[in-house]
Structure 1
């Protein structure tokens, strides 16, 4: 990849995300739902991420590490995923279908 090539995220199914979470212990999983929803329930190991905290994470994560981002239905996670790609993160995934479907895939 050349420095001028755009970096894009990938939308993945809940089943693909669940398999990735199981197989990549170093994957970073972000929950971008509101704090109340996160507190009511989230994936084990998932960190809550709000827009104002993105900058703090940019310097703490490896640019080639796996980032898996989920929200309610798979829309807001795409916005966050693109932000990480804009800062040259190369393995960024947005989960289609959101938290409930991903939780179901992980339980199955």
Structure 2
């Protein structure tokens, strides 16, 4: 029986440390385009059905990938799906962007 690929929960504090240390990662935001344009974590890419093919071409499968949504719920499903597509190190940001913006307002760009 093969071990099903899954994701890891990521604490906002850990992501903040990774960003500060220029840790190599792919950051994807699955919220709607308007929400993304109004504010997102610096360096993140908006991910939807239209841009997923480009992500697959651009993002190294072995590089850690962090999925961001509103509250950390739908990112779990997306992270599970991305892990199944062959990304080896997938994380779902706990609390989502909503929590991130409260904790790290200096780490939000629009």
Q: TM-score range by the shorter chain?
A: 0.7 to 0.9
Runs of 4+ in 1 over 6 A off after TM superposition: none
CA deviation map 1:15-43 (0-9, x unaligned): 12222232244211111111110111111
Structure 1: runs of 5 or more not aligned: none
1:69 aligns with: 67
Q: Which of 22, 30, 33 is matched with 1:32 structurally?
A: 30
- Number of residue pairs aligned between Structure 1 and Structure 2: 105
TM-score, with length taken from structure 2: 0.82
Q: 2:21 aligns to what?
A: 23
* TM-score, normalising length: structure 1: 0.83
- Unaligned segments of structure 2, at least 5 residues: none
Distance in 2 between the 1:24 and 1:66 partners? 12
Distance 1:29 1:95, change over 3 A: same
Residue deviations 1:56-78, cap 9 Å, x none?
31232111101111110001111
Alpha-carbon distance in structure 2 between the residues aligned to 1:98 and 1:90: 21
CA root-mean-square deviation: 1.9
Alignment partner of 1:46 out of 44, 51, 64: 44
What residue number does 1:84 align with? 82
